[in-house]
Amino acid sequence: MLKQQSHIVAPIPDELRTRALYTVGELRERGKADKEAINKLFNLIVDMTEEGLDFFFLEPLRRLHASSMMMGMAKMGISSMLKGSKMVVHKVLKKLDDRSLAAILDFIEEIIHEPEPG
């Protein structure tokens, strides 16, 4: 679905891509939205969110050679955003059922891509 729409792209480390795809496969195979699945999914979503926030908010500042004070202020703001999003994600995932777990796993698979050969 995303490839038929304009979209933005954020790079992630290969380790995170590999872990995301492994986690999706593992959780899909188990098919149960139990506590272990929710914890793994929560940690994955938090790590992916941190990478995205870094790329979209801090990377432009790094490229502009922002001062350390400006970077510090930006990091503090991002930290607050991350805390808020963690609370929301945790609250939503606590109520996750098996069908919703499958839908989230589908979404994660949809947004993860390998690098294009270059």
Three state DSSP letters for 61-110: HHHCCCCHHHHHHHHHHHHHHHHHHHHHHHHHHHCCCHHHHHHHHHHHHH
Residue 46 has a pLDDT of 97
Residue 3 has a pLDDT of 72
Low-confidence ranges of the chain (pLDDT < 50): none
Distances in Å between the Cα of 24 and the Cα atoms of 8, 34, 35, 44, 100 are: 22, 14, 15, 10, 13
Q: Indicate the residue type of 15.
A: E
Provide φ and ψ at 63, rounded to 5°. Answer: -65, -25
Tokens 């792209």 identify what position? 9
Residue 55 has a pLDDT of 96
pLDDT tens digits, one per residue of 59-91: 999 999 999 999 999 999 999 999 999 999 999
Contacts of 92 (CB under 8 A, 6+ apart): none
Q: Name the token pair of 33.
A: 């939205």
